Amino acid sequence: MSNNQLVIGVDYGSDSVRSVIVNAANGEEIASSVFNYPRWRDGKYCVPAENQFRQHPQDYIDGLKATIKDCIAQAGGEAIAKNIKGISVDTTGSTPVAVDATGTPLALTPGFETNPNAMFVLWKDHTSVKEAAQINEHATKFDTNYLKYVGGIYSSEWFWAKLLHVLRVDAQVRDAAASWVEHCDWIPFLLTGGTDVKDIKRGRCSAGHKALWAEEFNGLPPEEFFVSLDPVLAGFRDKLYEDTYTADEAAGNLSAEWAEILGLSTDVIVGTGAFDAHMGAVGGQIEPYHLSKVMGTSTCDILVAPSSEMEGKLVRGICGQVNGSVIPGMAGLEAGQSAFGDTYAWFKNILAWPLNNLLSQSQVIDAATAEALKEEISEMIIPELSRQAALLPIDESNELAIDWFNGRRTPDANQELKGAITGLGLGSDAPRVFRALAEATCFGAKSIVDRFISEGIPVKGIIGIGGVAKKSSFVMQMMADVLGMPIRIHQFKHTCALGAAMFAAVVAGIYPTIEEAMTAMGRGFDVVYEPNIALKEVYQQRYNQYSTLGRFVAAEVALKNNPELQNA
């Protein structure tokens, strides 16, 4: 293996895109760069009160250019660029967009520049809750269970619910859409210079976990399934795809246009895209029956098992099980929590409200000092809350919370559910409430582990990756205590991007399989959190309280949304 074989991994997150240049010989990071989406940062095209979260494709394009060019400049410029052999990309998902016949997102075409329905519908956009419920009800009318490989419940976070909602509410987009494309499929198509939407290589990962594609169905469900759901979907299935590709397959070569933009060669191979958690699991050196938890704004939990051992097994209430969605030859099983880091960020914003809204009006300090003070204190809030919360005794009577602030992803998707905090008193201060929120996110993680185990899928260990895993020893130790099992934290900072780089090494022909790339490029683990066995009993009692409160909240939400149940 030569040390002059480099690859690029690109990871599109919810708030930013990050790229890394990695030495394919040993996984060493040569350079990294992060670009925050400016339109997203400014809150454009989003209406949080209505659960509308859209992202403009221009943010993605600008970030792609900026991060890769910055990485190349850091690494040594033109001298290093000639050694780059492959690029692979992961993204959040399901984050689809309407495109024209050339595969161009409608927001990049005249007349749609500022139309949110012509932009990427971020995974956390829940404007399609009604459509998801209708898909779930509709699926019961068919002899074939088309939801069997997505845990039996379709979610508003996923492809068809988002598509149906947009087609219903926006006739202009409906008439202009030649197809509907996942973010992780569009970026490789862009980089390879695609000009015909029919040529987009659709990833097995996104198609299987979010769009109801399955080998058993010979592709997507039949036209009848969609037309009988809503005539607005007539003909749309034919605008999509039959075949899918695993992430170890090439999407094509870097186009001449993008080679010039980035300062690279057209010999660079671009890989088929996949979701961030799935490539992150690879970057985090996942092992069979170990749960890889990508912990950021939400969590995506990935488990792999040999396909031969999963025959006849279907896990209820998860986000799907798809052969080859993570590692070819293995079944990839996905679960997760819709709000994780977002829960802490929400509470931080609550506490920072006076800083953000009143400090600028101060007559005591000048504007520059006020802004500096706001930034300084904002950065201190979560670390200090964690320190203070860690000192509190753990007791059954403590404040208790439910972590469904963005609905529930798994087990049993229900995006109508809401978060809750109970047991509040005049002694409930910020550290106590924060501790309750942290416990809730850990209990949410336990409910996922328990579901896998109850469905006959063992969980032999936990691998932690992502921002929260790297930054919060308080949350990670609590999670180890709640789960009663060790958590290994992968040492690589941008683990999803590293996973993408591993796939880039395979599509470039540097390694024949992703397993060999993982072995050579894996960077190992730098922290292990061991569970405190003395806390097992009290956390089990607290978890039982969490489960009871959760059932109550779910029942109340169901009554609110279905008044007819009150008279049942």
pLDDT value of position 568: 56
Global pTM reads: 0.90
- The CATH number of domain 341-490+532-567 is 1.20.1540.10: no
* Adjacent-strand bridge partners of 20: 9, 32
Asked whether the predicted pLDDT for residue 544 surpasses 80, the reply is yes
Percent of the chain with pLDDT over 90: 91
Domain with residues 6-284+492-526, CATH architecture: 2-Layer Sandwich (3.30)
What would the 3-class secondary structure string for 387-438 be?
Answer: HHHHCCCCCCCCCEEECCECEECCCCCECCCCCEEECCCCCCCHHHHHHHHH
Asked whether the predicted pLDDT for residue 64 surpasses 70, the reply is yes
Residue given tokens 């003395």 in the structure block: 534
Of 55-64, 169-178, 201-210, 311-320, give the lowest mean pLDDT range: 311-320
Torsion of CA 383, 388, 389, 393, to 10 degrees: 160
Closest listed residue to residue 9, CA positions, set 236, 279, 289: 279
The pairing of strands 525-529 and 274-275 is: unpaired
The CA-atom distances, in angstroms, between 300 and each of 93, 184, 280, 429, 507 are: 10, 16, 10, 31, 25
Instruction: Kindly report, residue by residue over 338-382, the tens digit of the pLDDT.
Output: 999 999 999 999 999 999 999 989 899 999 999 999 999 999 999
- Asked if 262 and 33 count as a contact pair (C-beta separation under 8 A), the reply is no
pLDDT value of position 476: 96
pLDDT value of position 561: 81
Six-digit token pair at 390?
């860690």
Instruction: Kindly report, residue by residue over 471-522, the tens digit of the pLDDT.
Output: 999 999 999 999 999 999 998 888 999 999 999 999 999 999 999 999 999 9
pLDDT value of position 1: 44
Q: Where in the chain is the domain with CATH 3.30.420.40?
A: 6-284+492-526, 341-490+532-567
Specify the 3-state DSSP secondary structure of 477: helix
Average pLDDT in the 99-115 region? Answer: 98
Instruction: Kindly report, residue by residue over 259-313, the tens digit of the pLDDT.
Output: 999 999 999 999 999 999 999 999 999 999 999 999 988 899 999 999 999 988 9
Instruction: Kindly report, residue by residue over 411-467, the tens digit of the pLDDT.
Output: 998 989 999 999 999 999 999 999 999 999 999 999 999 999 999 999 999 999 988
